Amino acid sequence: MKNIFDVAIVGAGAAGLMCAIEAGKRGKKAILLDHVKKIGEKIRISGGGRCNFTNINTNYKKFISTNPDFVKSALSQYSHNDFISLIGKHQIRFHEKKLGQLFCDESAQQIISMLQIECQQANVILQSNTFIKSIIKTNNFILETQDLNFETKSLVIATGGLSIPKIGATKFGYEIAKQFGLNIIGTSPALVPLTFNDALLDKCKKLAGLSIEARISFQKTLFEEGMLFTHRGLSGPSILQISSYWKLGQNIEINLSPDHNIYDYLQQKKQNKPRLEIMTVMNDFLPKRLAQSICEDLHISGRIADLSNKIINSISNSVNQWVVKPTGTEGYRTAEVTLGGVDTKELSSKTMMSKKVEGLYFIGEVVDVTGHLGGYNFQWAWSSGYTAGQYV
């Protein structure tokens, strides 16, 4: 038995839902399939349960891809303002947290419910708990599942990446791309905490729970946001951001007090208040536990007047230019997104359709487009999903 559709979308996450809605609005007979029982889980758990659904600062520079210009077309076809309008239509109240990040006032479930309502209004058939055994292409695409076969003219792969496997992430989308001869840019965890070993890990464990504003840099890329010490290493927004750029075996540099030139500050205190204890001075710009940890590492104590310029320079470097080498990341288990994916050279930026296979589309996280932290990855899902929905 075959069920014949104009378009089948595989993956009922943010991108898949948006694509299905737009296809349905155009009068296309659309079916949305997912192997999980409960759709939209990544939406539900995002933003601490309030969903950081977009960012008012969205532009192409906030995305990583082997082709940085690829996102421009989709972002112009469906902008953050367009999604904000959709939120307004459904009377979902929201707020800006910081750096342009927009969150629901109440719950991420409101976003999922909104998208489900939009699907219903567009006559989209939603079928969860459906496992696709195989996909073949004759004139149309034939999808074989555990129960039925589906035939469709257009097929959209919106299966996401490898991040957070406990809510259903799989490599299915990449396997379909390979099956049809599309190139895959190597994948790795992104927006993920960094891990360390030996002495540095011990330091992180002792400081676990401590959060500070820090400037983190890798080569020419830097981010200045919160950094958190954990029992496994370093986390927090600035670390998650740099993790998308960091390469295994390389160092990162951390400025623990970006608003102070510590060398100049300490020299000034040495001149003006020489009797002050070094720990007292360091508490001016660092939390007590962190200041104490640095002093212990450098084996320093006593009055600032008694510290040589060499020691002051060592303190300065430990604060303003702390160089560390991560041993890795926490992996896909805690990564917010996946770096890499279906090569954008294989896709039309205007339509999201494969250049090799007529009627085959890839959208969302499965594509080699990775946004910065702060709602950009959701905006890519909305924009790429909308774009494909106009052409399927």
Alpha carbon 23 to its chain's center: 26
| % of the chain residues with pLDDT over 70 | 99
Using pLDDT thresholds of 50, 70 and 90, give the confidence band for residue 175. very high
Burial, 60: exposed, middle or buried (Cβ in 10 Å; 0-12, 13-18, 19+)? middle
User: Using CA atoms, how far apart are residues 247 and 245, in angstroms rounded to an integer?
Assistant: 7
Mean pLDDT for all residues in the chain: 96
Angle CA 335–341–342, to nearest 5: 155
Question: Which tens digit of pLDDT belongs to each residue from 207-222?
Answer: 999 999 999 999 999 9
Tell whether the model's pLDDT for residue 129 goes beyond 90: yes
Under the banding of pLDDT at 50, 70 and 90, the label for residue 147 is confident
Q: Residue 210, CB half-sphere, CA atoms under 13 Å: how many?
A: 19
**Model confidence pTM above 0.85:** yes
Amino acid 199: pLDDT: 86
Residue 1 confidence (pLDDT) above 50: no
pLDDT value of residue 237 = 97
Q: Is the pLDDT of residue 289 over 70?
A: yes
pLDDT at 120 over 70: yes
Nearest residue to 209 via CA among 183, 240, 234: 234
Cβ neighbours, 10 Å, residue 155: 26
Cα(370)–Cα(364) distance, integer angstroms: 9
| Residues 268/272/276/280 CA torsion (nearest 10 deg) | -40
- Residue 15 to residue 131: CA distance in whole angstroms: 19
Cα 204 to Cα 234: distance, rounded to the nearest angstrom: 7
Rounded to an integer, the average pLDDT of 300-328 is: 96
Residue 357 pLDDT greater than 90, yes or no: yes
Q: What is the average pLDDT across 337-359?
A: 98
pLDDT of residue 2: 64
Mean pLDDT within 166-190: 97
Is 193-330 a domain of CATH 2.40.30.10? Answer: yes
**CA 306 to mean position of chain CA atoms:** 47
Domain 2-188+333-389: homologous superfamily in CATH = FAD/NAD(P)-binding domain (3.50.50.60)
Structure tokens at 206: 């002792």
* Side chain identity, residue 172: F
Contact indicator for 164, 19 with CB cutoff of 8 Å: no
Residue 46's pLDDT is: 95
Domain ranges of the chain: 2-188+333-389, 193-330
Question: What distances in angstroms separate CA 57 from CA 66, 69, 264, one per listed residue?
Answer: 22, 17, 35
